[in-house]
Amino acid sequence: MKKSKISKNTSNQTDRILFFDILRICFVALIVYGHSQFFSFPLNSILYRDGNTPFNLYPLGLTGISVYGMIFVSGAVLEYNYKGIERFSEYVKFLVKRCIRLYPAFWMSLILGIILFPVVLNAGFCNVIFEFTGFYIILGQGPGNINIMGWFIAAIMSLYLLFPLLSKIVKKYQFSSIIVFLLVSFLCRFLLITYNVVPIDRFFMWFPLCNLFEFGLGIYIVQNKLYPQNVTNHPLIRQLSDLSYYVFLFHMVIISVFMTYTVNNIKIFDIFAFNPKIISYLCDYCVMMATVLLVSWVAMMLDQRIQKKISASNMMKKIMKS
């Protein structure tokens, strides 16, 4: 019996590329630091005085660029692991795997947010339930009431849905397709952010055309092997790379706890400011970051068990055999 093209490439998933793991770790680290220290980071005030680059091509400063960096890594890793999705059954398997990878951890972050801030339930039952879909941001009511990082689920899932098509386009048209993706993405960001041509709040954050360039670029460099191909052998790098997704999901929930219940003002963590209490503030900041890492690590351990149980379930086995 002829094996599907996905099965031929499953071995790639054991060969992690060091370049992509390092990038993922660095981008998430910048995002977390930016969310807790945006005004303290000198480059932000020098390069992004209003939070955006010229023409609003890269909004939200270095934090925003790091998010686009994560989208780039996602496109590259998908192309590395899933080459040649041709059949509808393969497409379904691909989406199921991606949902299992994304949603259990995201749901855990929402449950933790509800436990720590039960006041979010005042948003209404429908709003709370819809936030669990990861697509709350499409309602135009902000990135989320429980976990503001939930908008990324909508952004990345929208790109996952388009991945087989984008992979084929890049393979056929090569660098020309990347130029087109760049023009489309930059034009969409410019129009949506500068002129608000679509009056839906934060539409540019999740709309696929706005993220097309970075995602497609990741696909392109893997197809043409334009990246360092050293394999990740060190277990610490692998662990940190795995942990980065959970840090990304949970960090704002934990930072919100510290802001709400301890200091009430994010600028109190300005470790670069001259202040007689600088040592105390630095200690507080370290405790906050340590808590983010601890909670994220616990979530990762739980999620790995959940994914193993889902993968071993009869329903999942039927889906994968179909």
pLDDT in tens, the chain (322 residues): 444 444 444 334 458 999 999 999 999 998 998 887 644 555 555 555 555 677 788 887 778 899 999 999 999 999 999 977 889 999 999 999 999 999 999 999 999 999 999 999 999 999 999 999 999 999 999 899 999 999 999 999 999 999 999 999 999 999 999 999 999 999 999 999 989 899 888 999 999 999 999 999 999 999 999 999 999 889 999 999 999 999 999 999 999 888 777 654 444 445 455 555 666 667 777 888 999 999 999 999 999 999 999 988 888 888 887 7
**CA 99 – CA 307 distance, rounded (Å):** 11
Q: What is the phi/psi pair of residue 231, to 5°?
A: -85, 145
Candidates 236, 281, 70; CA nearest to 159 is 70
User: Beta-carbon neighbour count of residue 39 at 10 Å?
Assistant: 13
Six-digit token string for 19: 């370049």
Six-digit token string for 101: 């990878």
Candidates 201, 205, 164; CA nearest to 188 is 205
> How many residues does the structure list for the chain?
322
DSSP, collapsed to helix, strand or coil, labels residue 265 as coil
Q: Note the helical H segments in the chain.
A: 5-9, 18-37, 42-47, 61-81, 88-116, 125-131, 151-173, 175-189, 203-206, 212-223, 235-258, 278-312, 314-321
